[in-house]
Amino acid sequence: MKLLYPLNVKNKFIFNSSARDFTVEEIPLYEFTGEGEHLILKVRKKNLTTWEMLDALSNHLGVKRKDIGYAGLKDKNALTIQYISLIAKDSSKIDEFTHDKIKILETTRHNNKIRVGHLKGNRFHVRLKKVLGVQKDKIDSVLKWIEDNGIPNYFGNQRFGTDGNNWEDGKKLINGDLKIRDRKIRDFLIGSYQSYLFNNWLTKRVELSLLLEKFSEEETEQVLGLDSGTLKGTKTQEQFFKLIEGDLMMHYPYGRVFFVEDLEIEASRFISKDISPTGLLAGDKVKRSVDKAWSIEKDFDEKTKQSGARRYAWIQVSNIEKKYIEEKAHYEISFVLPKGSYATNVLDILRGGKDNS
């Protein structure tokens, strides 16, 4: 299915996910203290996974990979900058480290090991090619829409493996049709299935919002096979992504989870970017939506044998900067996304839609 956004704009450009055209820079969760038993490395890598970079460092230093702290995994086909931590006493050989795809930019001290999730977000820089004048104007318009409205928080393709079917093995693990002893691999595959369910739920909600742009609440309910009254109070909401009674919201960009009780009030807070709706990562020990929102969410809920969570369904894109180089027909964009979000979602909207076929 091809999902188009209200702008109804189709853009053609070339984007290569490569170190020349795609840069990701991690934004730390906190300032490092400059003292302590851990050495913080600011590391730049290109055309390597984070795991490959960690292996190169652990082999050189003679330490276990698990003893090296990191906040998140970064793209392989990109130039990426991230922070990792070592126990300072294990870093005596760090000055001798050389690698043609890895460069240590800075070092400092800190009191604690960096843990997964210890980042505010990421700053992305992308270069679009073969952008002609008329396309430039369209991209300008779409970027303005993104800045004003935000974007859906889909999991990116890299979550699903080279062939895009990791989620199938995750489902087989849950159903008992596949056995894998390695816990990390097992958890990764089940996580891929959780992501698959979330993406499909989000597609349903985006489709619902798109239909409400052109049709009444009653007509949209009929098209989607929803019970009468499910979408009551959605059509009059000003924002693109419509809230439904029983949705679970979170304060943005982080905060507690709570239920939508008054659609008008919560829609106003959503527009002001104070809160945002969440979707379900199916599993144990997690709140589900209720009432009318649950009538949709329940179709994407399964027992996954691991902890569930709520994930922002809609996120904001901040610090957008752009530069058009007319003589090269290049359009360069930089922007910041919260942790766990994918730059591909911005590119999808710039193109005019997301291909879920």
For the chain, give percent helix, strand, coil, nearest 5. 35, 25, 40
| Per-residue pLDDT of the chain in tens (357 residues, 90 and over written 9) | 345 455 556 778 999 999 999 999 999 999 999 999 999 999 999 999 999 999 999 999 999 999 999 999 899 999 999 999 999 988 889 999 999 999 999 999 999 999 998 999 999 999 999 999 889 999 999 999 999 999 999 998 888 877 888 999 999 999 999 999 888 889 989 999 999 999 999 999 999 999 999 999 999 999 999 999 999 999 999 999 999 999 999 999 888 999 998 999 999 999 999 999 999 999 999 999 999 999 999 999 999 989 999 999 999 999 999 999 999 999 999 999 999 999 999 999 998 865 543
In words, the CATH class of domain 22-121 is alpha beta
- Give the closest residue to 58 by CA, choosing from 101, 100, 87, 27: 87
Catalytically active residues, by annotation:
75
* Antiparallel, parallel or unpaired: β 79-87 and 22-28: parallel
DSSP secondary-structure letter at 279?
Answer: E
Encode 88-111: b = buried (16+ Cβ within 10 Å), e = exposed: bebbeebeeeeeeebebeeebebe
Question: Residue ranges of the domains in the chain?
Answer: 22-121, 156-315
* Overall pTM surpassing 0.85 (yes/no): yes
| In 136-283, beta strands by DSSP E | 151-152, 248-251, 257-259, 275-281
Query: What dotted CATH number matches 156-315?
Result: 3.30.2340.10
